[in-house]
Amino acid sequence: MRKKNIKASCEINVAAHEVWAKWTTAEGLQSFFGKGNDIKLSIGGTYEIYYLMNNEVGYRGSEGSKILSYLPGKMISFSWTAPPQFREIRKEENKTWVVLIIDEIAANKTQITLHHMGWPKDRTWDKVYRFYEHAWGFVLHELKKSLAIS
DSSP state, residue 34: -
Domain ranges of the chain: 6-146
Task: Sort 56 into a burial class: Cβ within 10 Å, 0-12 / 13-18 / 19+.
Answer: exposed
Is the pLDDT reported for residue 133 higher than 70? Answer: yes
* pTM of structure: 0.92
The pLDDT of residue 149 is above 60:
no
At 3, is the pLDDT very low, low, confident or very high (cuts 50, 70, 90)?
Answer: confident
The CATH fold of domain 6-146: Alpha-D-Glucose-1,6-Bisphosphate; Chain A, domain 4 (3.30.530)
pLDDT digits (tens, 9 = 90+) for 28-58: 999 999 999 999 999 999 999 999 989 998 8
Distance separating alpha carbons of residues 144 and 141, to the nearest angstrom: 5
First to last CA, the chain: 39
How far apart (Å, rounded) are the C-alpha atoms in residues 101 and 71?
A: 9
Instruction: Say how far apart CA 63 and CA 68 lie, in whole Å.
Output: 15
pLDDT tens figures, 85-127: 998 888 877 789 999 999 999 999 999 999 999 999 889 999 9
> In the predicted model, what is the mean pLDDT of residues 62-85?
96
